[in-house]
Structure 1
């Protein structure tokens, strides 16, 4: 069996780094992409590539490079995230250029990644998975987090749509959302390894979960009511 390739977009020191390490230990070839990656392969199963998620064309080039080097990825993790926190009463007090840049990272580049992943998945046999690091923004408005929530809510919509369109082709699309034990949003203190463990379970089909995967660190998947809990 050919070695599977996972492409991780947005390799920061927490969720991204944990995801890279977890999939590597599980036998995957891992491509990590971020603005700070050095562009050099460290070995036959690890490759680091530069990719600026604020520039959606950069995502197109990233997929092109991965295909040329290792073929089509069977797992794609979109972990891009940008936000401009404000006081709740100043939620719309955001410079236009900041809104546009963060929309590119949270939404437009995510769209490009989903489109390119769907193209890759159509050329592969067996199971394929795309995972989007989400928030509970699609459940309702959260004052003070406008740019993050607009982008993540749009991403959740695309994941829901893709799951319906491609599931019969053995391709799954998931929005993974960490919550507190009470179901409240986790905008800070996110568990990197907890996310990575959920990502691997989804990619390996160890669990059959819906497109929106809400989980609590240490417990795994927990289904919460579809309403905003603040």
Structure 2
């Protein structure tokens, strides 16, 4: 069976956790890597380590997203792997939430995913190949109290992924949504000593993304759930 090969990856919403693990993995596997965030100063060390290019982008702004793709295409060629990791969380009781904060949360968590996926699809469709990976959360399948804004955004992102998968898969574009059902380990957030591996390891999550990228098209996943072994369903 032929397995897909990729040349250039763009990761939107890059921080020190999952996105950094993806950048390292992609670079090790020989892909040219571009990373994007609102602030690029926090990406210097990662870019030095991986050789990735850094790009400033407001994922909720159509012009900023269009400029991002133009810059990446000029430097590396059109990305054939695009990962959307950006999201915004606003907590609070429904009656107390600031509508402007909720609007911004939805813009980043969901609308930004649409903008990035749209630009990616426009470049992948003429080639008849590519992959668009969207990072979801527990909130995308189960709304929690005091988390209505985040739930709305992640539910919308999941709907976007499912719709795009049905539309774009027959045209050669692999769209996949990842439900990260649990907390992710970071330098500032470690698993408790008496609960080893109770947080998701970002490198382990990245390996699952890599596996999905290399699925044969006769058996594509459109959604994958990942959770620590002790996490409740």
CA 1:217–1:31 in 2, change beyond 3 Å: closer, same or farther? farther
Match of 2:57 among 43, 51, 69: 51
Match of 2:208 among 198, 209, 213: 198
CA 1:44–1:11 in 2, change beyond 3 Å: closer, same or farther? closer
CA contact (8 A) 2:82 2:133 kept: yes
Cα offset, 1:176, TM superposition: 0.3
CA 1:102–1:187 in 2, change beyond 3 Å: closer, same or farther? farther
In structure 1, how many angstroms separate the alpha carbons of the residues matched to 2:213 and 2:221? Answer: 13
CA contact (8 A) 1:194 1:217 kept: no
Match of 2:118 among 93, 115, 119: 115
**Structure 1, gaps ≥5 residues long:** 180-185, 219-228
State the aligned residue count. 210
TM-score by length of 2: 0.80
Counterpart in the other structure of 1:28: 31
- 1:15-64 per-residue CA deviation (whole Å, 9 max, x = no partner) reads 11111111111111000101222599759952111112243432121111
CA contact (8 A) 1:134 1:156 kept: yes
- 1:71 and 2:43 correspond: no
- 1:87-133 per-residue CA deviation (whole Å, 9 max, x = no partner) reads xxx244211111111111101111101111111111325x4111111
Counterpart in the other structure of 1:211: 222
Runs (4+) of structure 1 moved beyond 6 Å?
Answer: none
**Aligned to 2:22, what secondary structure does the other structure show?**
helix
Counterpart in the other structure of 1:146: 148
Cα offset, 1:6, TM superposition: 0.4
Cα offset, 1:134, TM superposition: 0.2
In structure 1, how many angstroms separate the alpha carbons of the residues matched to 2:49 and 2:8? Answer: 14
**Aligned to 1:123, what secondary structure does the other structure show?**
helix
**Aligned to 2:126, what secondary structure does the other structure show?**
coil
CA contact (8 A) 1:178 1:217 kept: no
In structure 1, how many angstroms separate the alpha carbons of the residues matched to 2:82 and 2:102? Answer: 26
User: For residues 1-230 of structure 1, what are the structure 2 equivalents within 5 Å?
Assistant: 4-38=7-41, 46-86=52-92, 90-125=93-128, 127-179=129-181, 186-187=182-183, 189-205=199-215, 208-217=219-228
Cα offset, 1:209, TM superposition: 4.4
Point out the structure with the larger helix share: 2
In structure 1, how many angstroms separate the alpha carbons of the residues matched to 2:216 and 2:51? Answer: 23
In structure 2, how many angstroms separate the alpha carbons of the residues matched to 1:107 and 1:138? Answer: 11
User: Cα RMSD between the aligned structures?
Assistant: 2.7
